[in-house]
Amino acid sequence: MTRPRLTWGLGALATVMLMAAPAFADDAPPKLDSGDTAWMLASTALVLLMTIPGLALFYAGMVRKKNILATMMQSFTICCIVTIVWMVAGYSIAFTTGNAYMGDFSRIMLHGIADHIVKGNDSQAFVLASGVKDVADMATTIPETVYMMFQMTFAIITPALIAGAFADRMKFSAMCLFMTLWSLLIYSPIAHWVWSPSGWANQLGVLDFAGGTVVHINAGVAGLVCALVLGKREGYPNTNMAPYNLAYAVIGASLLWVGWFGFNAGSAVAANGRAGMAMSVTQIATAAAALGWMFAEWIVKGKPSVLGAASGAVAGLVAITPASGFVLPGGALVIGIAAGVICFWSATSLKHLLGYDDSLDAFGVHGIGGMVGAILTGWFSFGPLSATDATPDGSPGGLAQVWLQCQGVASTIVYSGIGTFVILMVVKAIIGLRVNEEEEREGLDLVLHGEQVF
C-alpha cells in the first residue's frame, strides 16, 4: 500500500504545481513581443513625421513668403534641440520613479538604458515602475529604447506647436534658448504627472491617452502666453497677412493626419484591440471636425475655405488625442463635431474679441481643442477599454470623471502659463525676445538666416 499512496501523493503535488504555474508566470517579467515592437517602431517614425515635415509644412504654408524658411527652420531646429535635451535629462525627469511631481535623475544621459542588452538584444521588456505602494507598475512588451524614442517624438512636437503662436517675430536665438528651458522645466514634469505611474494626475485618475493635457493644452497655453508677451505682429490686424502657399498647409495637415495614427494608436504601446479602436476613433473624429468647421464657416462667411477644412481636421485630431484609448466611435463623432465648431469660433471670433495675436492659432486649435477633448473624455469614457485585472471596471465616464478631467486641465493651464511666462522673462533679460521693427518688416528669412524663397 505504500507505493500507491506515494504515487497518488506525487500526482497530487504535480497537479497543484501545474495549477499554480500561471500565477508564477504572472509575476514574471513581461516578455518582449516582436509584433508590438514592430508596431511601436513604426509609430515612432509616424509621430516624427508629424513634426518634420508635417508641422513644418503646415505652419510654413500659413505665413507670408518672407517668413517661410524661418518657420520651417523653427520646426527643424526644435527637433534637433529636443532630441538632445530628451537624451540628456528630459526622459529621466519624465519617466523615472521620482515623486508625484517629477522623476529622478537615474536616466541622465540615458544611463542604464542598455543594462538588459545581451548579444545585441534586450533580454527583457521595459517596465515603467511606480515606486509607490499599492500603485501598479506599467509593464510593456517592448524594449526601453523603443519606449524612450516613442516618447521623444512627443517631446519634439509639443514645443514645435508653440512656434505657431509667435510666428513672424521671435529671434532665432531666443527661440532656441526658450525651447530648451521649456522642454526641461514644463514639458517633462507635466508628462511625469500624467503618464508616469508615480505622477499625481495618474494616481488621481486623470485620463489622457495620448496627450490632451501633456501636449495640446500645454503647448496651446504656452503659445498664448508667448503671443501676449511678445505682442502683436507689425501691422496686425490691418496689414494683409494672407498665407503665401496654402498648398503647403494642406500637405502639412495631411501628413499630420496620417502621422497621428502613430500618435494615438501607438499610445496603446502594443499592437492590440485598444490600438485598433484608437485608430478608428481618430479617423472618425478628424473627419467630423473637418466637416464641423467647414459647415460652420460656410454658414457664417458664405464659403467653406481650404484652410478652414484643414484647420478643422487638425482640431479633431487634437480633441480626440486624450480620448482615443477610452471612447467608442459614437463618442468620437460628438467630440469631433464639438471640436470643429468650437475651434472655428475660438480661432476667429474669440481671438478678435480679446485682441491677442496668435499668429497660426496654436491656442485657438491646440489649447481650446485640447480642453474640449480632455473634458469630453471624462463623459464618453468606456470602462472596458481601460479595464485591468486590478481595476475590472476601468474608468467609466460620468460627472465624477469629468471633475477629475477638469482638475487635470486646470493644473496644466496654471503650471504651463506661469512657467512659460517666467522662462520668457529670463530669456528676455539674457538675450531679448523679438526682432526689431525694421527686421520684422524685411522678413525673418533674410534677417535671421540670410536666405529667401524666390
- The span from the CA of 321 to the CA of 286, in Å, is 10
State the burial class of residue 245 (Cβ atoms within 10 Å of its Cβ: 0-12, 13-18, 19+). Answer: middle
**The three cell numbers locating residue 121:** 538584444
Name the phi and psi angles at 388, rounded to 5: -135, 180
Whether 11 shows a pLDDT value over 80: the answer reads: no
Q: Which fold has domain 10-434?
A: Ammonium transporter fold (1.10.3430)
Cβ–Cβ under 8 Å, residues 356 and 228: yes
Model confidence band, residue 392 (pLDDT cutoffs 50, 70, 90): confident
Q: Do residues 296 and 340 make contact, with C-beta atoms less than 8 angstroms apart?
A: yes
Predicted pLDDT at 30: 77
Q: Is the pLDDT of residue 375 over 60?
A: yes
Contacts with 454 (C-beta within 8 Å, 6 or more apart), sequence order = none
Of residues 12 and 332, more confidently modeled = 332
pLDDT tens per residue, range 137-175: 889 999 999 999 999 999 999 999 999 999 999 999 999
- The domain locations on the chain are 10-434
Per-residue pLDDT of 74-100, as tens digits, reads 999 999 999 999 999 999 999 999 999
**pLDDT score at 390:** 79
pLDDT tier for residue 317 given thresholds of 50, 70 and 90: very high
* Per-residue confidence (pLDDT) for residue 28, from 0 to 100: 60
Query: Residue 128: beta bridge partners?
Result: 138
**pLDDT digits over 249-296, tens only?**
999 999 999 999 999 999 999 999 999 999 999 999 999 999 999 999
pLDDT of 135 strictly over 90: no
| Section 221-225 average pLDDT | 97
The radius of gyration of the chain from alpha carbons, rounded to an integer in Å, stands at: 24
Residue 102 pLDDT greater than 80, yes or no: yes
- pLDDT tier, 206 (very low <50, low <70, confident <90, very high otherwise): very high
Q: List phi, psi (to 5°) of 269.
A: 55, 30
Which residues are paired to 150 by β-bridges? none
Q: In this structure, are residues 314 and 346 in contact, taking their beta carbons and an 8 Å threshold?
A: no
pTM: 0.91
pLDDT averaged over the chain?
A: 92
- The neighbour count for residue 379, using CB atoms within 10 Å, is 17
**Torsion sign, CA atoms 56, 57, 62, 66:** positive
Instruction: Cite the beta strand spans of 267-314 per DSSP E.
Output: none
